Amino acid sequence: MAREAPVQSDRSPVRMLLFLALALGTGVVLIVVLFQLITGYQRRIEEAKRPEDQVMVIVANKELYPGVTVAEEDLYAVEIPPRYLPDGVFLSPDHVVGRIPRERILANEFIRADRLADPESGVGLNAVIPRGMRAISVEVSGGHALAGFLNPGNYVDVIVTIKPDASVESTEPDAKGAAETKTFLQAVFVLGVNSRMQREDATQAKEKRGKASPSVTLLVNAEQAEQVAHFDERGDLTLTLRNDQDVEETALQASGVNVEDLRAILAGPEKVEKARMIKRTKVVAPAPVPDTLIIIKGSKRTEQQMDQNGVIQQPAGGRN
């Protein structure tokens, strides 16, 4: 019996076509994805090469000080991206020239609106005095003024030294013997030294001051201004320099003149004498210890006291 030949399936060409179509589709997808990746990288590279939009910002060319009018040569402009732009900065020098700094502005620092005084405040020293505050100048010399070291923008303590008044009569022998010193103001801001509102080197300071007594302008309130004027008239004022970061008031130690003494001085000359009186406590000498005479007779012991002249007083007691 003859064997029949196997019948070939008609599905083989269909399978081949499906595999080819699947491979072709996968290749197309890979090509598209690869093309998008390459295009994205190229776009990023082009954006990195392309310069970012810049904005002109006004910066201080040198240190600017309170009370000194800003000139055009004190400024310059820098370009920065808008996303790094701080708030309150100026984009044109026209809005800065002629203004007065409210506080010291460092070199290369952005000029901000809150660092400048209001345009309506005027020019000079009065433009930087805050509302409710006063500026008062005192004449101090030598070590009292920290000559050569004190500059506008520093903080100082104010010390008064009141010398004894020779016209004040006192029954105490040492009531007029020593001066009285006390710190009555702490952490006072220095607006100016002499007529300058900006720093100067040692040569310039010597040329401006020479041997003259420099005047220091302090920023105080109305009550403190009265105290400074009063003590400047009554005694000698001395300034002690503080660290700019140490502006907290500290409790005054009980040395020199206390607060009550200062109030007495402010009250008038009648209380000055009372404030300057030195309270003395009379020291009472201890009573002399009497001598004791001990008499022993056998087992009997007797003690008798004697005065300074050797006279026997009544017996202090005895024991067997």
- Higher pLDDT: 46 or 171? It is 46
Structure confidence by residue, pLDDT tens digits, 183-231:
999 999 988 887 666 555 555 555 654 554 568 889 999 999 999 999 9
| DSSP run (H or E) holding 202 | helix 202-209
Torsions phi, psi of 238, nearest 5?
-130, 140
Is the separation of the CB atoms in 224 and 132 below 8 Å? no
pLDDT band at 316 (very low <50, low <70, confident <90, very high): very low
Is the separation of the CB atoms in 163 and 235 below 8 Å? yes
**Residue 116 burial (CB count, 10 A):** 23
- What's 38-78 look like in SS3? HHHHHHHHHHHHCCCCCEEEEEECCCECCCCCCCHHHEEEE
In CATH, which of 1.10.287.3510, 3.90.1210.10, 3.30.565.40, 3.40.50.1260 is domain 55-127? 3.90.1210.10
Q: Is the pLDDT of residue 20 over 60?
A: yes
Q: Is the pLDDT of residue 300 over 70?
A: yes
Predicted pLDDT at 128: 79
- Per-domain boundaries in the chain: 55-127, 130-276, 286-320
- Higher pLDDT: 306 or 280? It is 306
CA 300 remoteness from chain centre: 83
- Copy the structure tokens of residue 85: 């732009």
Predicted pLDDT at 320: 44
Predicted pLDDT at 117: 84
- Higher pLDDT: 151 or 272? It is 151
